[in-house]
Amino acid sequence: MLEINQLRCFVAVAEELHFSRAAERLHMTQPPLSRQIQLLEHSIGLPLFIRSNRMVRLTPAGRNLLPEARAILRMAEQARNSALRVGLGEEGRVVIGFTAVAGYQFLPDMLLRLRKALPGIDLQLREMVTAWQLDALVQGHIDLGLLRPSSRGEGLEDLCVAKEPLMAAIPEDHPLASLRSLHLKDFHDQPMVMYSPDEARYFHDLVHQVFHAQQVYPRYDQYVGQVHSVLALVRSGFGVALVPESASRLHYEGIVYRRVGGVSPAKPVELHLVWRRDNDNPAMARVLTYFERLRRAR
Amino acid sequence: MLEINQLRCFVAVAEELHFSRAAERLHMTQPPLSRQIQLLEHSIGLPLFIRSNRMVRLTPAGRNLLPEARAILRMAEQARNSALRVGLGEEGRVVIGFTAVAGYQFLPDMLLRLRKALPGIDLQLREMVTAWQLDALVQGHIDLGLLRPSSRGEGLEDLCVAKEPLMAAIPEDHPLASLRSLHLKDFHDQPMVMYSPDEARYFHDLVHQVFHAQQVYPRYDQYVGQVHSVLALVRSGFGVALVPESASRLHYEGIVYRRVGGVSPAKPVELHLVWRRDNDNPAMARVLTYFERLRRAR
DNA sequence: CGTCATTACGGAATGCGTAATGATA
DNA sequence: TATCATTACGCATTCCGTAATGACG
């Protein structure tokens, strides 16, 4: 096989067309240089130079090899530097999972700042629901999850990054839409679109608690997994719903959003960043350092 | 610097994720393999694997290096093969100089056949007049010249590949254009466009001899260097001219071509292939072998 | 205690430098 | 004879294989 060292020798001689000068440039003496060239020629099976004692010139095979040899040397150099930069986290990739709703409010800001602060790092995005993100984190398919709170914390770090109130999403032609101010009690016995207890455990429990605390009991007719779907059903007239404030960014035609009195301020909707404590991605480490610096600055 | 051998070891371990199996694949024992990996890691400055005794896995830096290492190995392999093929003439480049007129008749056929017979060889074309081609041949800028005969034969091989008669090129509204048959004598005292004695020595001498042999003396009003230019002047009414038959392929609007009686058949226009005897381009050698085979087949 | 990577060590091969040789103008 | 590549040879380093050690389940 061609050896890197031999290629380096070859390039030097091919550029100088003079063994002695090439040897000088390589910080060695001529004889071993001659020998390396001979070995290279032998391993290819052809002469690369024509030595006419007063003149060294390339054979066609040598002329052909020269640019390739340069390319290989350049690649080797780059590979080394790139591996080093990846190791130091100056370059690399961080895969981020996010829920659809986070994609409308929190994520864009975060990405903008991250890209600015860590320009060498390639940020890859994958939309998935909270439960899938937790799986993907554990399996190492994503480095970072932007998701709703969850109890599954085996080896996972968790940071609350946003809190927002729940708001009512109401079809614009619904009687409640015309009320000046809205209170939880107004939802009593109302048909509502509810979150599914397994696909959207967090929202399910949160909405349930909010109403239960006030002894209000709406009628839960529909159970769906994502805020998107909730809004789609609200718009189709299946009832009203409680959604995080940021969902109002979705600008669903035919839906109005209202603040609701009686919702405990101690129960906001939270958005969390989650990652594996033993994640070994150095680029990820730099992202975390960046978050840490942000947190302290506040 | 990264060594090829170390990269090969790295790729094997990265693919097997198991030192013993990788060593087996590399036809060596584990300990030196471990050592090569350590050396590689040291030369990069970072660990590439995490060895947890029951499990070998890549670090991010290693994951990043893997495709680059594969690429380098592939390139090294290719470089070797390519150099060998170039050396054997199975692959390579032949630069061919040609005169403008040759480009209309002889060259296209020749290229078609060469490309078919020697598919691995890249044929590069450069149009230039005979004198320039001779220079370019000597200096090694072209491998092969397709040109008019010349006396400069220092180390050059020469092969006549085409003979063609001279024909008259006449403006269509010229009195001679309407004659049924044309003889050299008809050119006596006629204004003619002549070839320049330094830029187109061969044509100059040839035309001169043709007329001289018959004691015919036209009037040479214009001297130009290329057949192209001759035709342009003929078309502009500066006179008539003798041109090689293949020039009629140029299909100049307003020019008619006529055979001429009295032109010695022993003095056709010749087209020659010329190359350096000591040309070391193996692809060129194959081209020559091809010509030789053609010649013998005839 | 079995598996598997690392460390330890001896022998072979490789690479470099110095000195001698050879070829060419 | 001067220049410059090659050959010859001795020494240091590198690389491989075998044997011993060590870590983890």
The reply to whether A29 has its C-beta less than 7 Å from any atom of strand C is yes
Q: Is the pLDDT of residue B53 over 80?
A: no
d(C-alpha A233, C-alpha A194), whole Å = 10
Residues 91-150 on B with a CB inside 8 Å of A are: 92
Pairing of strands A269-276, A260-261: unpaired
Return the closest-CA partner of residue B273 out of B249, B250, B247, B291: B291
Are A207 and A194 a contacting pair, CB within 8 Å?
A: yes
Question: What domains can you pick out in chain A, each with its CATH number?
Answer: 4-87 (1.10.10.10), 92-163+270-297 (3.40.190.10), 166-266 (3.40.190.10)
The reply to whether B56 has its C-beta less than 7 Å from any atom of strand D is no
Does residue A59 belong to the interface with chain B, where contact is any CB pair within 8 Å? yes
The reply to whether A2 has its C-beta less than 7 Å from any atom of strand C is no
Return the closest-CA partner of residue B242 out of B180, B184, B162: B184
Element (H, E) at B9: helix B4-16
Q: Which one is predicted more confidently, B278 or A206?
A: A206
Q: How far is the CA of A36 from the C1' of C23 (A)?
A: 21
The reply to whether A36 has its C-beta less than 7 Å from any atom of strand C is yes
Name every chain A residue with its beta carbon within 8 A of the beta carbon of B276.
Answer: none
d(C-alpha B213, C-alpha A268), whole Å = 112
Q: How far is the CA of B218 from the C1' of C21 (A)?
A: 71
Could you give the C-alpha distances from A95 to A18, A135, A144, A293, B49, in angstroms and in order? Answer: 52, 14, 6, 21, 21
Q: What's phi and psi for B113, nearest 5 deg? A: -70, -40
Helix, strand, coil tally for chain B in percent (to 5): 45, 25, 30
Are A120 and A85 a contacting pair, CB within 8 Å?
A: yes
d(C-alpha B9, C-alpha B288), whole Å = 45
Chain B span 9-28 residues with beta carbon within 7 Å of strand D = 27-28
Q: What is the pLDDT of residue A32?
A: 92
Model-level pTM? Answer: 0.75
Q: How far is the CA of B53 from the C1' of D25 (A)?
A: 9
pLDDT by position in tens, chain A (length 298): 889 999 999 999 999 999 999 999 999 989 999 999 999 999 999 999 998 767 889 999 999 999 999 999 999 999 999 999 999 989 989 999 999 889 888 899 999 999 999 998 999 999 999 999 999 998 889 999 999 998 877 789 999 999 999 999 999 999 999 988 899 999 999 999 999 998 899 999 999 999 999 999 999 989 999 999 999 999 999 999 999 999 988 888 889 999 999 888 888 999 999 999 888 888 999 999 998 888 898 7
d(C-alpha B295, C-alpha B218), whole Å = 39
How much is the average pLDDT of B257-283?
90
Helix, strand, coil tally for chain A in percent (to 5): 45, 25, 30
Rg (CA), chain A: 32
Return the closest-CA partner of residue A206 out of A249, A164, A258, A257: A164
Q: Report CB contact under 8 Å: B281, A60.
A: yes
Of B2, B65, B86, the CB nearest to A60: B86
The set of strand D positions with any atom below 7 Å of a protein CB reads: 3-9, 15-20, 22-25
d(C-alpha B133, C-alpha B127), whole Å = 9
Work out the number of other CB atoms within 10 angstroms of the CB of residue A15.
13
The reply to whether B1 has its C-beta less than 7 Å from any atom of strand D is no
Q: What is the pLDDT of residue B274?
A: 95
DSSP-derived letter for residue B240 is B
Could you give the C-alpha distances from B80 to A40, A46, A61, A283, in angstroms and in order? Answer: 10, 10, 10, 37
Name every chain B residue with its beta carbon within 8 A of the beta carbon of A71.
Answer: 75
Return the closest-CA partner of residue B230 out of B213, B212, B206, B214: B206
- What confidence category does residue B268 fall into, taking pLDDT thresholds of 50, 70 and 90? very high
Q: Is the pLDDT of residue B266 over 90?
A: no
Does residue B265 belong to the interface with chain A, where contact is any CB pair within 8 Å? no
d(C-alpha B194, C-alpha B229), whole Å = 10
Return the closest-CA partner of residue A193 out of A239, A148, A150, A160: A239
Does residue B75 belong to the interface with chain A, where contact is any CB pair within 8 Å? yes
Q: Report CB contact under 8 Å: A4, B8.
A: no
d(C-alpha A282, C-alpha A91), whole Å = 9
The nt closest to A55 (CA vs C1′) is: D4
